[in-house]
Structures are given as structure tokens and as C-alpha cells.
Amino acid sequence: MTRVLVAILTAVLSYTVKADTIPIISISVPVTEMSETEAFKLYTGEYKKWPNGTRVTIFIQDPDSISVKAFSIKLGITPSRFSSRINTNLSDGAVINIVDTPSQVILGVLSTPNSAGLYSGFYIVRNMTSITELVLTK
């Protein structure tokens, strides 16, 4: 009986919960996937407009936070280069909102059309109705 409950619980959790630094986007964003190179340009503020011409707004935690560093490493970019690019593009007019917590990233993306964010932590896939995960391709 215990093994059955553990197997069911494991199956449910693997289906509904993820833990990672996840690139998320508002459902109003006109893209659902992009290359890792494009993601680097998006999340560091180099892309200032989406393909349909709407302005890009980014929500991330501090560029020196573990979540942003983990995402840069996931892209094969050194954290210092990622952070440096963010600072350069901020001074060049990029709209990057640096927030304190993962919850603020979620709230920012939920409340801002055409926005994207880097969310770090656990989330329930089924409850993501207004935002979605951005699929990264090689």
C-alpha cells in the first residue's frame, strides 16, 4: 500500500511541479519559443520590441542572484557577462524591472502585457493560465 501511494504521489508531483529557473512570458507575447541566443538577448534587454512591434518589459531578480546566474549558465553564458549586458542595456533604454522575489517576477508578468520574466522556484504547471513557459531551443 505504501509503495502504491508513493508511486502515485511521485507521478502527480512530476506532472504538476517543476523547480528551476524558468523563462516565463505573458500569454499576450507573440512568441512561444526562441533559441538560447535569442533568450540571452531578450532577458538582458537587447530586444526592446517583440516581432509585432510591442514593447518588451522584463522582470528579473538582481542580476547577481542565484536564479539569474543559474539561467545564464543554462544558456552557456558566464554570469558576469550576463550581468554586464543587463547593465549596459538598462542604460540604453531597456525596460528591465529588477525585483526582490520570485513572487514579484510572477506578479509583474501577470500584470504587464507583453512581458517576460525569469522565475526561480517551484510552480504548479496547471495553475499557469495567464503566463506560460518560454520554450528554449538550441
Question: How many other CB atoms are there within 10 angstroms of residue 16's CB atom?
Answer: 13
Helix segments in the chain, DSSP class H? 2-16, 36-43, 66-74, 79-91, 102-111
Rounded Cα gap, residues 48 and 78, in angstroms: 22
> Which set of grid coordinates corresponds to residue 6?
508513493
- The SS3 call for residue 127 is helix
Per-residue pLDDT of the chain (138 residues; tens, 9 = 90+): 555 444 443 444 444 444 478 888 888 888 888 899 999 999 999 999 999 999 999 999 988 888 888 889 888 999 999 999 998 888 888 899 999 988 899 889 988 999 999 887 655 444 555 666 777 777
82-99 residues labelled b (16+ CB within 10 A) or e (exposed): bbebbeebbeeebebebb
CATH of region 18-137, choose from 3.40.50.150, 3.40.50.720, 3.40.50.620, 3.40.190.10: 3.40.190.10
How far is the CA of 107 from the CAs of 20, 78, 111, in angstroms? 18, 28, 6
Q: What is the pLDDT of residue 80?
A: 92
The residues with which 135 forms a beta bridge, in sequence order, are 33
Indicate the pTM of the whole model: 0.76
- The predicted-structure confidence for 88-128, as pLDDT tens digits, reads as follows 888 888 899 999 988 899 889 988 999 999 887 655 444 55
The domains of the chain are located at 18-137
Burial class (CB in 10 A: 0-12, 13-18, 19+), 121: middle
**Residues above pLDDT 70, as percent of the chain:** 75
Cell matching residue 137: 531551443
